[in-house]
Amino acid sequence: MSDLSKVKILHIDSNHPLLWEQLENTGFSNEADFTSTKEEVENKIENYHGIVIRSRFKIDKTFIDKAKNLKFIARVGAGLESIDCEYAESKNINLIAAPEGNCNAVGEHALGMILSLFNKLNHADKEVKAGHWNRESNRGTELDGKTIGIIGYGNMGKSFAKKLRGFDVEVLCYDILPNVGDENAKQVSLEEIQQKSDVLSLHIPWTTETDKMVNASFINQFAKPFWLINTARGKSVVTADLVAALQSGKVLGAGLDVLEYEKLSFETLFEGEKPEVFDYLLQANNVLLTPHIAGWTFESKEKLAQVIVNKIINLYL
């Protein structure tokens, strides 16, 4: 389409201002609506050729059926699970995401979680601030000599493996795609990950295959007690089974940036009472929790927006 001013893009979430500005400067027509309900947006979506989202609501079959002129859905993030991708693609709608934009942030966060857990940084910090000077009980563990298993070796997994190059560790990766291993990680079977890993880091999307993947059976197939890091999606880990493994010592500690109980928008955690097993995570000294911020840096906000801009422009130019 040569006249880009006729390409109307609806933004339903706020993002880095460069996204809006660069689209506008290229000639696209931008409109914002950060407050309307899903139904209200559905009532006008046929007027737009593109929509830019984060995770405010699900783009489902009902929404897509009303979006008669939609050419693309751009999600300013890594995953597309809030979109009925198969149905959208059947309607020839282009799906755009930006896993390249926050993979460095996720890799750094995962490494930070391991180092904090191994060296009891958060626990020791709390004790000193409470007036306790306990050296022996805060003796740390070294990462060198350990085997790190990575499940999911796309943008996120590769970024994390690259961060580990400065350590004397063995890095193994498992992925459903063949031949994705590189100089930073050796691709192996899931069984080999479970046989050798001292640390398991998840970098997988949330799909029917990965839903509740880390359950009691999965955990018990590990040959050694291990540490778990999850900066991917909370619903891939069964919290009750993880807590049981933490209590038994099968899991030595966990760094969780995402939780099973998160809402799809990722903006809130609970509606109603907290599950009892979650209380254990809150009290455990060997559990580190962060509020879905692994990919949420100042730098990644800008990089995510830039990747989305570039991909939208490439659709038309």
If one compares 196 and 77, the residue with the highest pLDDT of the two is 196
Query: Nearest 5 degrees, angle CA 164-CA 251-CA 293?
Result: 55
Give the CA count within 13 Å in the CB-facing half-sphere of 112. Answer: 16
Residue of 16, 49, 123, 292 with catalytic role: 292
- Whole-angstrom distance, CA of residue 252 vs CA of residue 77: 31
Q: Lowest mean pLDDT: which of 58-62, 168-172, 270-274? A: 270-274
Confidence of residue 262 (pLDDT cuts 50, 70, 90): confident
Helix (H, G, I), strand (E, B) or coil at 9: strand
273: annotated active-site residue: yes
Q: What is the pLDDT of residues 70-113, one digit of tens each?
A: 999 999 988 888 899 999 999 999 999 999 999 999 999 999 99
Residues 173 and 153 sit within 8 Å (Cβ to Cβ): yes
Radius of gyration from C-alpha coordinates of the chain: 21
* Amino acid 265: pLDDT: 64
Please name every residue paired with 10 in a beta bridge, in sequence order, or none if there are none: 31, 51
Q: Is the dihedral of CA 204, 205, 206, 210 positive or negative?
A: negative
Report the pLDDT value the prediction gives residue 272, as an integer from 0 to 100.
64
Choice among 11, 56, 109, 233 that is catalytic: 233
Lowest mean pLDDT among 12-21, 38-47, 194-203, 266-275: 266-275
* C-alpha–C-alpha distance, residues 152 and 149, integer Å: 10
Question: Residue 207 pLDDT more than 70?
Answer: yes
Q: How far apart are CA 258 and CA 294, in angstroms?
A: 9
Out of 3.10.580.10, 3.40.50.720, 3.40.1370.10, 3.90.870.10, the CATH code matching 102-289 is 3.40.50.720
- pLDDT tens, position by position, 41-62: 999 999 999 999 998 889 999 9
* pLDDT of amino acid 5: 87
Q: Is the distance from CB of 130 to CB of 142 less than 8 angstroms?
A: no
Residue 112 in tokens: 């930070």
CATH topology assigned to domain 4-97: Rossmann fold (3.40.50)
What's the order of all strands across the beta sheet hosting 72-75? 29-32, 8-11, 50-53, 72-75, 94-96
Mean pLDDT, the chain, whole residue set: 94
Query: Can you give the pLDDT at residue 167?
Result: 97
Residues of the chain with CATH 3.40.50.720: 4-97, 102-289
Could you tell me the two tokens for 150? 């990575």
Whole-number Å distance between alpha carbons of 246 and 295: 26
Alpha-carbon distances, residue 250 vs 42, 199, 212, 254 (angstroms): 48, 12, 18, 11
What is the reported pLDDT for 270? 65
292 catalytic, yes or no? yes
To the nearest 10°, the Cα dihedral for 305, 307, 311, 314?
Answer: 110
Instruction: Answer whether residue 266 shows pLDDT above 70.
Output: no
Query: What count of other Cβ atoms lies within 10 Å of the Cβ of residue 190?
Result: 14
What's the confidence (pLDDT) of residue 78?
A: 87
Q: Give the C-alpha distances (Å, rounded to integers) separating 204 from 152, 195, 256.
A: 5, 20, 14
Instruction: Give the residues across from 237 on adjacent strands.
Output: 214
| DSSP 8-state class, residue 74 | E
108 is catalytic: no
| Residue of 86, 183, 271, 273 with catalytic role | 273
**1, pLDDT greater than 60:** no
Contact 195, 171 (CB under 8 A): no
pTM of the model: 0.91
